[in-house]
Every structure is written in structure tokens, then in C-alpha cells.
Amino acid sequence: MAMLTTKKTKKEKTIDTIVVILLTLGAVTMVFPLMYMVLSSFMTKNQILSAEFTLIPNPWKFGKYSEVLAKPEFIRGVRNTLMVAVPVLVVGGFASSLAAFSFSKLRFRGKNGIFLGLLATMMIPFAVVMIPQYVMFTKMG
């Protein structure tokens, strides 16, 4: 089987190179805060708060993780998070897959209106709903 190959022009190669450079800069910009956060977790408090910017800890401090993991509050927090997150993910994923199937494969009256209503509610930012939701949960106890 013959494979078709097309030669790129010099202009296309230049554009591809510029796009790769911009995407690489964007990726480094996005990943750097995470990388700095992880590396600073191995630094002393004085290294973090000093005016001199350092990326690599000197000396490396590994005791903070064992100190945090030994606290029962941390373990309880992880357990509570999992108890809330796992059922929400399972039930939400199941319900979303049923809704996605019905919107994509089934034909019924009002489908477009219901779908637009669903999309409209998804576009509401959480900050708008947060305070009324807090008040409602407070009244519920």
C-alpha cells in the first residue's frame, strides 16, 4: 500500500515551529505553579519566606508529610471527602450517561428546549448559587 506524503512549505514549517513554541510556553506557564508548590513543600519556612527566590530546596525536608499524615484530622478529612465524592461521581456519571444517550439517540417532543434549559443551568457560575444554597442548607439543619 502506497503512503501519500506531502511536503510542507517553508512557511508552514515556520508556522508549525511558532505554534510549538507558543504551546510549550503555555504548558510551562500552566505547570510551573504546581511544580513550585510541590518543591516548596520540601523547603523550610525561612526558605519559602525569604526574599531570595529558590526553586530547588536546600536542604530537603521530608518530615512534613509524615507529620501531616500522622494527624487524625487529615485522615478524617480524606475519608469525608471520599464519602462525598465517590457517590456523587458514580451517581452523577450514571445519570449523565443516561441523559446523554436520550438527548443523542431518542426523539421526543421538547427535546431541544429541555437540552437548552440543561445547558443554561450548567452555565450559571457557582458563585451565584453559593449563598442561596448555604441559606437553604442552614435552614434544613
pLDDT digits (tens, 9 = 90+) for 95-133: 999 999 999 999 999 999 999 999 999 999 988 989 999
* pLDDT tens track for 49-87: 888 888 888 888 888 888 888 889 999 999 999 999 999
> 2 pLDDT exceeds 60?
no
User: Pick from 67, 75, 58, 65: which is nearest to 41 by CA?
Assistant: 65
Any residues with CB less than 8 A from the CB of 40 and at least 6 apart, and which?
47, 48, 57
Assess contact for 103 and 115: CB atoms under 8 A: yes
pLDDT score for 3: 62
The whole-number pLDDT of residue 4 equals 65
Does 1 score more than 70 pLDDT? no
